[in-house]
Amino acid sequence: MLKHLCSIRSVAAACVVLAAPFAHAQKTYDPGVSDTEIRLGQTTPYSGPLSAYGTFGRAGVAYFSKINAEGGVNGRKLTLLTVDDGFSPPKTVEQTRKLIERDEVFFLFAPVGTATNLAVQKYLNAKKIPQLFLQSGIPHWNDPANFPYSMSGLPNYATEVKAFTRYIIANKPDARIAILYQNDDFGKEYLKGLKENLGATAEKMLVGAASFEVTDPTITSQIISLQASGADTLLLAATQKQTAQALRQAYDMSWRPLTLIAFPAVSIGRTFVPAGIEASKGIIASSVFVDPSDPAKRDDPDYRAYAAFMDKYYPEGDKLDGLNVAAFVEGQLVVEVLRRCGNMLTRENVMKQAANLKDVKAAMLMRGVTVNTSPTNYNMFKVVQPVTFNGKFMAPIGGLVGE
């Protein structure tokens, strides 16, 4: 009897040992995932004052089409349900709830906007649903202790403001600075960062500040006021429409300050052409993305891959639009995260993989720029590259500037 019992135990133990690798290889899915599909959601302003950013969503859908044509990720096709929120936070809340509760998406991929993402952050984190590679760069997103399911896909605005301040002090130490900023968390971050980086000299150097609402038809009165402040340096913390208006207005008034613009506004087709090339030439910005307008990049493998993607999967899109470059880069990053997840496709594992990216290089990131994250630091980009518009493309100036 004892011998028979030992035999049973031995067989049972052997079964456990044999089952262990099988259990490890088992597929584990959260909602939005099956053996054949991974379904993601996104909110983007296809209408409203920032409808120009709709191309980011369309380029994202196109990139997923490319991945699917190549076999998907670990054999699964990607579906991106990208919906219009009109850049209205209440609409974002409504659309996000539909994506989660009706469409049962796996997680939110690269939703656009600061105020809009803030409106749903608590909801998504309470449900433990990733708000992954969201398109906003306020430092608030780097808070894994309190919001472990929210991670930005853009450089931290604080890093850019630091780069701007260093440039001003190095090239114009006696500058009289004015700032035009969007009246929300995005714009206010630049005002706050400028004051912090100027330190004790802020009271003397910062001579003017004016805000605007994204729904304002023009910013003419603000530019007139800032010129009257006596400023010889202008920081524009705005998106494309108001940046173009400000550049044009200042030029028409024969005001020629040293002008720096926030990277969300950097676009030749959507900012500099509407403002006028002559009004835009010489502006200072920063970036982590290769400028597709740079003729020196035409033979670069990264550019060739990007151009081939646009030609085949998004031919109606503008290859020179930085928003399409951003979508191309973010697409590569989410594919890398999903690839690393393997068959453990849970929301928790998605964030685990996203929070452990080491020196990841995506096509169309600038030389020296890689993606690095950790469980305690969600800032993907630790450096930015200062650039200037030379009338044809964004040319790098100086070296990389870090946190």
pLDDT tens for each residue of 307-346 = 999 999 999 999 999 999 999 999 999 999 999 999 999 9
Of 13 and 286, the one with more pLDDT: 286
Average pLDDT of 24-50? 93
The pLDDT value recorded for residue 23 is 38
Reduced 3-state DSSP string for 168-189: HHHHCCCCCEEEEEECCHHHHH
Residue reference for tokens 């509407």: 274
pLDDT in tens, 99-126: 999 999 999 999 999 999 999 999 999 9
Whether the CB-CB separation of 247 and 223 falls below 8 Å is answered with: no
Q: Which amino acid is at 110?
A: A
Token reading at 337? 């995260």
pLDDT in tens, 163-192: 999 999 999 999 999 999 999 999 999 999
- Residue spans of the domains in the chain: they are 37-155+299-382, 158-287
CATH topology assigned to domain 37-155+299-382: Rossmann fold (3.40.50)
The pLDDT value recorded for residue 25 is 54
Report the half-sphere exposure of 244 (CA within 13 A, side-chain side). Answer: 16
The pLDDT value recorded for residue 402 is 85
Average pLDDT of 126-143? 97
Average pLDDT of 83-93? 98
CA gap 380, 34 in Å, rounded: 29
Other C-beta atoms closer than 10 Å to the C-beta of 258 total 18
pLDDT in tens, 196-227: 999 999 999 999 999 999 999 999 999 999 99
pLDDT at 348 over 50: yes
pLDDT at 136 over 60: yes
The pLDDT value recorded for residue 26 is 82
Percent of the chain clearing pLDDT 70 (strictly above): 94
CATH class of 158-287: alpha beta
The pLDDT value recorded for residue 222 is 98
Token reading at 271? 């900012």
CA gap 130, 100 in Å, rounded: 11
Enter the pTM of the model: 0.88
Length of the chain: 403
Percent of the chain clearing pLDDT 90 (strictly above): 92
Q: What backbone torsions phi and psi does residue 223 show, to the nearest 5 degrees?
A: -65, -40
Whether the CB-CB separation of 286 and 164 falls below 8 Å is answered with: yes
Dihedral (C-alpha) 136, 165, 260, 384: value to the nearest 10 degrees?
-50
CA gap 266, 21 in Å, rounded: 51
Helix (H) or strand (E) holding 385: strand 383-389
CA gap 161, 157 in Å, rounded: 6
Does the fold of domain 158-287 match that of domain 37-155+299-382? yes
